[in-house]
């Protein structure tokens, strides 16, 4: 199933956020503003800008399920991301990525295993999923794998080719 068919609103409440990136190679990342991994926003913005002209986008998905590290309102999240990290990539509404209230997007994404054969529940903030132009999930990367790590950049390059 193409993830681009799954409805999810933007952080500002506009419907169908994924319509903005349909047909692009997309890195979907569950994000949080008060996490030790939050500085990954810098590299996420850099790769978003680096590959944008070739049909690539990052999509941040705020989630407050990991030690309450994304407690803000949509306005607070948007202001933090913009003023602290200069984020220009799309952000979705805040959702659950695990459990009974798991958003349909993450029900689809979490079927993909990473290079260590880990699939299922999201382990922590900043877990990354590379999605191809057709909406298929191509790769999954641990939260500890940086957005600009060689394996992520190589996977992006391959998907853009």
Q: What is the pLDDT of residues 104-157, one digit of tens each?
A: 999 999 999 988 898 999 999 999 999 999 999 999 999 999 999 999 999 999
35 classed as catalytic: yes
Measured between alpha carbons, how far is residue 135 from residues 21, 23, 149 in Å? Answer: 10, 7, 23
Domain architecture of the chain: domains with CATH: 3-160 (3.40.30.10)
CA–CA separation, 31 vs 92, rounded Å? 10
- pLDDT reported for residue 133: 97
Give the three-state DSSP class for 30.
strand
CA–CA separation, 140 vs 111, rounded Å? 10
The active-site residue, picked from 20, 35, 43, 104, is 35
- pLDDT reported for residue 118: 87
Evaluate whether 79 touches 33 at the Cβ level (below 8 Å): no
Q: What is the pLDDT of residues 35-67, one digit of tens each?
A: 999 999 999 999 999 999 999 999 999 999 999
Residue that has been written with the tokens 């978003």 in this structure: 48
């Amino acid at each position: 199933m193409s993830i681009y068919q799954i409805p999810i609103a933007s952080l500002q409440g506009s419907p169908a956020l994924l319509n903005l990136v349909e047909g692009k190679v997309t890195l979907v990342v569950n994000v949080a503003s008060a996490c030790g991994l939050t500085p990954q926003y810098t590299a996420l913005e850099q790769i978003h800008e680096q590959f944008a002209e070739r049909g690539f986008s990052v999509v941040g998905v705020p989630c407050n399920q990991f030690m309450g590290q994304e407690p803000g309102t949509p306005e607070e999240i948007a202001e933090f991301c913009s003023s602290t990290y200069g984020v220009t990539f799309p952000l979705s509404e805040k959702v659950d990525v695990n459990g009974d209230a798991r958003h349909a997007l993450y029900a689809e994404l979490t079927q993909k295993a990473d290079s260590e054969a880990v699939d299922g529940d999201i382990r922590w903030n900043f877990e990354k999923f590379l999605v191809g132009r057709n909406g298929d999930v191509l790769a999954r990367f641990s939260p500890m794998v940086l957005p600009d790590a060689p394996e992520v950049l190589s996977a992006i390059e391959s998907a853009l080719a």
